[in-house]
Chains A and B, each alone.
Chain A
Amino acid sequence: MAEIELRGIEKRYGEVPVLKGVSLKIQDGEFLTLVGPSGCGKSTLLRIIAGLEDQDAGEVSVGGRTVDGARPKDRDVAMVFQSYALYPHLTVFDNIALPLRTRRLSFAQRLPLIGGLLPGRTGIEKTIRVEVEQAAAMLDVAHLLHRKPGQLSGGQRQRVALGRAMVRHPTVFLMDEPLSNLDAKLRVQMRAEITALHRRLGVTFVYVTHDQSEAMTMADRVAVVIGGELLQVGPPDELYRDPRDLKVAEMIGSPKINVVARGHWADDRPILSAALAPQTKHLAFRPEAAVLTTPTAGLPGGTVTDLENLGSDIFVHVALRDGSETVVIRTAPDEPRLSLGRAVGLKVDAARLLQFDEAGRRCGDIEQVAA
């Protein structure tokens, strides 16, 4: 059993606060991604869980056991790094075998040359060989065991790094942007492989990424970290549908959510069936939450400035007539083609319109949408 619990984690580098009191509970066997822009503190949080860095305040427990001050190797966690961090002078076999050797062989048995002569070593090495070969076979790198990391492709290195992490059956996997050094096609493929691995091993995965699409496609739950704060945790579709903060709404979803200032869509116009809350300052809606119409008096509208044809969808960029904002609307490819510069009207689905106050917090409709 390895649920992870973080209680009020704080971390600062000198005067700069990196984490401002993060509390989070990760269930046993869950796949949780930490997503946020660069420098938001998500990697630091992962390193604190791993024990590679010490927090300034707060507690970490893994499997119900407080691990503050415990060394990484005593926390029963495995980690996969962005740069793979394979030992370049060791073969793939030795790379994968290393965590087993450091744990099972005594100090004397690990010594070069004389270590091999000590009693017991041969037997341990035999079981290690079996386990390394099993892990390698599972990740489809069994034919590469005698090679050095320098002779492998990026995807193969990533698999070896996964193998090194899983060979000793840790209860927690920590992954720090493991796919960001791969090309786009391989990244999509490895996403699927990692989620399959998670289902197969059934242990807790904590996965750090800045790529919201990775977070959305892979995770059971997504935790959005921005500016050292944990803004929201929830299943991907909940974050997409029901963001509690404007920053979360903007982080999740591609293309980005449309945000317009309330002033541009004055209350007195009959654009909305729902009444806006008095404190509402920003209105936001997803590209699929609005439809384009012919220009209509009383409805917001603008001119088409760009068309993005993805085959399955066409994203229409509309520069609003009464403001500087551009919004993006999703249309189906079978709808009549629009031409650039054409004037259109905009009809937003009031039920899917999100309201945010001055500080970017959700307001107004929150109870209604959550229900």
Chain B
Amino acid sequence: MSVMALAHRRARPAARRRQHQAAEATVGWLAVSPALILLICLLFGPAAAVILFSFTDWQLGASTFRFVGTENFAALWADPPFWKALINTCIYVAIVVPGTVGLGLATALLIEASPSLRGFYRAVHFLPVMSTMSAMAVVWGTMLHPSIGLVNRTLAVFGMTGINWLRDEHTALLAVALIGIWQGFGFAMVLFVSGLKAVPQQLYDAAAVDGADGLFDRLRIVTLPMLGPVTMFVIVLTASRAFEVFDSVRVLTQGGPNYASEVLLNRLYSESFDYLRTGYGAALTVVYLAIVIALTIAQARFIERRVHYS
């Protein structure tokens, strides 16, 4: 056999392997292309457009725009309603997250403690989660009405004078936050119930033999630590949903009175669609996105570090 023939023989498998790799790469790109196209059209594209708009003075419906550099962000920085909205959103999250987690956990523990009517209680508490917030907000608006609302009438029975909850600077944000808790805690409860079912009975048995059989000790030594991963998940979920608060504010207070219940997304909506200042609204969106992404990364890091057992 000649040297040439030998070389030829050896080269052939290598060439075939290269060909094979190329084909595999093509198939790979074909396989991811639907997802990739959707991601570009629905996520990256719009995000890029928003970032682009945030550097212009474009107004919704206008045919021309001009690049204004960071002017929008400077305006944002100097705009007291923006800061008010940012602080209010943080306060809202600070009320809604502990409220939802605490109430969800307490309800889950109560439901799991008694074997009767479990399904019924679960369904009842889950109903607000299934309902449309804007529709429910109308119901809450009626309930909180200063003169004909159920809340103030109930207070009147006990001889107390109610206030105009949604029109009072001191209570508007709180009322909206309570409605947020009411809507979200059913979801937290369902997650906690499933978490509770996963706690091994042998741990409770071990705790009982070790002398930790009181309610407080059982919670401290078994239940709460074992619910750690679920709790983290619920906190992350609730926080990100609370950060997006919009419908209840829009329907009930429009951010008023005097920006007392103004939140980021409502501010964004007003600027973009009420006042048609799209460029400014886009700058607000960019800030909002940055905050959300930062929070997500922080939470993901935190979860990985804190709640890993096995």
> A78–B210 Cα gap in the complex (Å)?
7
Task: With CB as the reference atom, state the residue of chain B lying closest to A53.
Answer: B205
A71 and B208 contact, CB distance less than 8 A: yes
Cβ of A52 within 8 Å of any chain B Cβ, yes or no, is yes
The verdict on A103 contacting chain B, using a C-beta distance below 8 Å, is yes
- Complex alpha-carbon distance, A86 and B209, angstroms: 12
* B205 pairs with A85, CB closer than 8 A: yes
The reply to whether the CB of B202 lies closer than 8 angstroms to some CB of chain A is yes
Residues of A within 8 A of B211 (CB): 73, 99, 102-103
Give the interface centre of B205, B209, B211, B226 by most chain A CB atoms within 10 Å. Answer: B209
Binds A, one of B38-46, B174-182, B215-223: B215-223
Q: List 27 A-B contacts (CB under 8 A).
A: A47-B205, A50-B205, A50-B209, A52-B209, A71-B208, A71-B213, A72-B208, A72-B209, A72-B213, A73-B209, A77-B209, A78-B209, A79-B205, A81-B202, A87-B221, A89-B226, A98-B210, A99-B209, A102-B212, A102-B217, A103-B211, A107-B214, A112-B220, A148-B309, A150-B308, A150-B309, A164-B210
A83 at the interface (CB under 8 A from B): yes
Nearest residue, chain B, Cβ from A47: B205
The size of the chain A interface, using a CB distance under 8 A, is: 29
A247 within 8 A of B: no
Closest-CB distance, B143 to chain A (whole angstroms): 39
Q: Is B203 an interface residue (CB 8 A)?
A: yes
Which residues on B sit within 8 Å (CB–CB) of A107? 214, 216
> A90 vs B225: C-alpha distance in the bound complex, in angstroms?
9
State how many angstroms separate the Cβ of A44 from the closest Cβ of chain B: 13
Q: How far is the CB of B21 from chain A (nearest CB, A)?
A: 40
**In the assembled complex, A241 has its CB within 8 A of some CB on chain B:** no
Contacts of A87 in B (CB 8 A): 203, 206, 221-222, 225
Q: Give the Cβ gap from B286 to chain A, nearest Cβ, in Å.
A: 40
CB pair B225 A89 closer than 8 Å: yes
- Bitwise interface map of B from 22 to 65 toward A, beta carbon under 8 Å scored 1, else 0: 00000000000000000000000000000000000000000000
Asked if B228 is at the interface (CB within 8 A of a chain A CB), the reply is yes
Residues from 290 to 310 in B contacting A, C-beta threshold 8 Å: 308-310
For the complex, give the distance between the alpha carbons of A50 and B213 in Å. Answer: 13
Distance between A92 CB and nearest chain B CB, rounded to angstroms: 14
Complex CA–CA separation, A99 to B226 (angstroms): 19
Min CB distance B227 to A, Å, is 11
Shortest distance between the CB of A45 and any CB in chain B (Å): 15
Q: How far is the CA of A107 from the CA of B212 in the complex (A)?
A: 11
Nearest chain A CB to B222 CB, angstrom units? 7
Q: Which residue of A lies closest to B309 (CB)?
A: A88
Point out residues on B near A: beta carbons under 8 Å.
Answer: 200, 202-203, 205-206, 208-214, 216-217, 220-222, 225-226, 228, 308-310
User: Given A107-B216, A110-B217, A150-B310, is A73 in contact with B206 using a C-beta cutoff of 8 Å?
Assistant: no
A107 to B222, CA, bound (A): 17
Q: Chain B contacts of A72 at CB under 8 A? A: 205, 208-209, 213
B205 interface neighbour in A81, A89, A150, Cβ under 8 Å: A81
Q: Which residues of B contact A150 (CB under 8 A)?
A: 308-310
Residues of A within 8 A of B222 (CB): 87
The listed residue with most A CB atoms (<10 A of its CB), out of B205, B226, B228, is: B205
The 6 closest A-B pairs by CB, nearest first: A102-B211, A85-B206, A73-B211, A89-B225, A88-B309, A85-B202
Given known A-B contacts A81-B202, A102-B217, A150-B309, A89 and B228 have beta carbons under 8 A apart:
yes
A135 shortest CB reach to chain B, Å: 14
Residues on A with beta carbons closer than 8 Å to the beta carbon of B216: 107
* Residues in A42-97 with C-beta less than 8 Å from chain B: 47, 50-52, 71-73, 77-79, 81-83, 85-90
What separation, in Å, do the CA atoms of A88 and B212 have in the docked complex? 16
**CA–CA, A107 to B220, complex, Å?**
12
Provide the residues of chain B in CB contact with A51, threshold 8 Å: 208
Residues of A within 8 A of B212 (CB): 98, 102
Give the residues in chain B near A73, CB-CB below 8 Å: 208-211, 213
In the assembly, what is the distance between CA of A331 and CA of B20, in Å? 62
User: What is the CB-to-nearest-CB distance from B112 to chain A, in angstroms, rounded to a whole number?
Assistant: 18
Q: Which of A47, A52, A85 contacts B203 (CB 8 A)?
A: A85
| Chain A min CB distance to B223 (Å) | 11
Shortest CB-to-CB span from B83 to chain A, Å, is: 35
Q: How far is the CA of A281 from the CA of B58 in the complex (A)?
A: 100
Residues in chain A near residue B200, CB distance under 8 A = 83, 85
Which residues 118-175 of A sit at the B interface, judged by CB distance below 8 A?
148, 150, 164
When chains A and B are docked, how far (Å) is the Cα of A76 from the Cα of B195?
A: 32
With A73-B213, A102-B217 known as contacts, the answer to whether A81 contacts B206 (CB < 8 A) is yes
- The distance from the CB of A180 to the nearest CB of chain B, in whole angstroms, is 13
* Minimum C-beta distance from B139 to chain A (A): 41
Taking a contact as CB atoms closer than 8 A, the residue among A50, A79, A82, A88 that contacts B225 in the complex is A88
Shortest CB distance A70–B (Å) = 11
Asked if A88 and B206 sit within 8 Å, CB to CB, the answer is: no
Query: Are A79 and B217 in contact, CB atoms less than 8 angstroms apart?
Result: no
Given known A-B contacts A71-B208, A88-B309, A98 and B221 have beta carbons under 8 A apart:
yes
In chain B, what residue has the closest Cβ to A75? B209
